[in-house]
Structure 1
Amino acid sequence: MKFMCWNCRGLGNHAKLRELKQLLDANSPNLIFLSETKMTANDFRSVQNKCRLQNRLAVNSEGRCGGLALVWRDGMNVSIQNYFKHHIDSMVKLENNKNIRVTGFYGHANPNLRSNSWDILRRVGESIREEWIVGGDFNAFLNDGEKEGGRRGVRAQMNEFKEVMDELALVDIKPDSGWFTWVNNRSGEELIKERLDRFISSVSVIANFPFIPTKVVRQTQSDHDVIILDLWGWKPKECPKDNRLSFKFDVCWAGDVEAKNVIERAWNRDAIDIGEKIQRVRSALGPWQSKKYGKLKRDMQNLEKQIN
């Protein structure tokens, strides 16, 4: 599944539509979330036809504001779960017949109303039991490293974003290429860049798909860039086969003092987010379990041969 999100800032002109077509041709996403279409659902049908996109759920704009669309190509098994003017939530059946929830999200542009957006995300999250990916324009950033130029971010607003992510056990997926996704298109000291668009996911997504590539694609027809996530960008079969580089947690480790120490050291290093902590624990436990239990496994195999 390749998931593309873009705050297109209106699709009513030929230049914007042409850029969307170029994006689709160059990146071949099979699930696309568009925000600020500034169109009714009926008007969006013409965009769908011109871009040769077979399936869609569109949410009406309110005059010249808002408007959402989730579009997917034939071959994708997508069922819409719920939607409103700030989100479209769907269930996607993957190639391996596993279900995953995918939500396109558009945070409120008015900081005074953004808590309403977080409440929507909470309500959606309360009903989800599957692995979950959320992508879109959150109109918010998590820390000062996600803004360059202008006034510093409001700490209370950043903390509110962090709190809802912690509450829902969601992890920020950092892009492999690109960083800022919005610019104010000014120059010099007036230039401001922010990371407003992103993908976040449940911890289980990171655990089961630890090598998800994401990228930021620069655009000229909107002040927002495109973000793309490729769930199968590095399939497990392409991962190194060295047992020291991967592991599956064994319940017997819970009582192992060495395992506890390895986990604590990896978890407590530096002030990093939960996704990085999990990856660091994974990287530490792989070599540890290979060294400690690898010989035990070989001894058991030798004993089985002797018995047989």
Structure 2
Amino acid sequence: MKFLCWNCCGLGNSAKIRELKQLIAVNNPDVIFLSETKMSANDFRRVQNNCRLQNGLAVNSEGRSGGLALMWREGMNVSIQNFSKHHIDSKVRLDDNKTIRVTGFYGHANLNFRRSSWDILRKVGESVREEWVVGGDFNAILNNAEKEGGRWGVRVQMNEFKEVMDEMALVDIKPDSGWFTWVNNRNEGSLIKERLDRFLTSVEVVENFPFIATKVVRQTQSDHDAIILDLWGRKLKDYLKDKRFCFKFDVYWAGDEEAKNVIERAWNREDTEYGEKLKSVRSALGPWQC
């Protein structure tokens, strides 16, 4: 299962919808959680139609702020459990009939209401009996290594975040690529970067999915980057689709004059080591056979 989360900072223009479509097309996620859509549930149907993802739930924005959506691709078995202005909770049945809890979360941006966001997460956690993945924009950092520029994070707020994770027995999944997910460059000369978006999982997920991987995907239409979690991201593929990387010698080539020339040029390069010569031949024949 691939789980994509993005604080899109509004989907009211065609440029952002195009970027969302590209994000989905390139990464092929199974479940998509969007925060700050700044749209009503009815208006969000237009986004679903554009992305060709009819399955989902949208939560209305409040004026020009907020708004959540959870979408999933055709064939996915997803059942919504509960939702609010700050989360959408679901159960996802995987191909092996195992059920996993998947929650999209949006922490309150206003520090005065941050604790209410943590209370929502606690309430969801009380009902979770499955392996659990929580993803989204938490609007919080765990330590000052997750912030660059500006003032250091407030220790009390960071400790509150850690306490919630400890209570819920959630583990922070570090990304394989990328780190900071939010950039504030509105004020010239005061660039601030923070890791506000992340995935948290129950300990059982880490134990039962040893190939789990996450990454940050740069976006241009929002000050937040997207994040993706893949339960099988580090598992070696059973086969490679690109023929250029599936090198096998075909005896037919021995009688092909063009193939002989390709092999001869690659073999007679300056590399003297036998292994390097074989690599050169393989590299040259890969594109040729296509």
Structure 1 residues 67-93: Cα deviation after superposition (integer angstroms, max 9, x where no partner): 000000111100000000000000000
2:45 alignment partner in structure 1: 45
After superposition, residues 1-308 of structure 1 pair within 5 angstroms as 1-186=1-186, 189-235=189-235
AA at the equivalent of 1:80: I
Q: TM-score when scaled to structure 2? A: 0.80
In structure 2, the CA distance between the partners of 1:180 and 1:56, relative to structure 1 (3 Å rule), is same
Q: Which runs of 5+ in 1 are unaligned?
A: 239-308
AA at the equivalent of 2:221: Q
Runs of 4+ in 1 over 3 A off after TM superposition: 186-189, 234-238
SS in 2 for 1:75: coil
In structure 2, the CA distance between the partners of 1:235 and 1:93, relative to structure 1 (3 Å rule), is farther
SS in 1 for 2:88: strand
Q: Which runs of 5+ in 2 are unaligned?
A: 239-290
Structure 2 distance, partners of 1:143, 1:88, is 26
2:275 alignment partner in structure 1: none
Q: TM-score when scaled to structure 1? A: 0.75
Structure 1 residues 283-304: Cα deviation after superposition (integer angstroms, max 9, x where no partner): xxxxxxxxxxxxxxxxxxxxxx
SS in 2 for 1:83: strand
Structure 1 residues 6-55: Cα deviation after superposition (integer angstroms, max 9, x where no partner): 00000010111111011011111110000000000000000000110120
2:255 alignment partner in structure 1: none
Identity of aligned residues (%): 79
Give the number of the structure whose residues are more often helix, by fraction.
1
Q: Is the CA contact 1:186–1:192 (under 8 Å) kept in the aligned structure 2?
A: no
SS in 2 for 1:190: coil
Pair member with larger Rg? 2
SS in 2 for 1:134: strand
**Paired residue total:** 238
The Cα RMSD (Å) is: 1.3
Structure 2 distance, partners of 1:146, 1:114, is 18
Structure 2 distance, partners of 1:229, 1:21, is 18
AA at the equivalent of 1:13: N
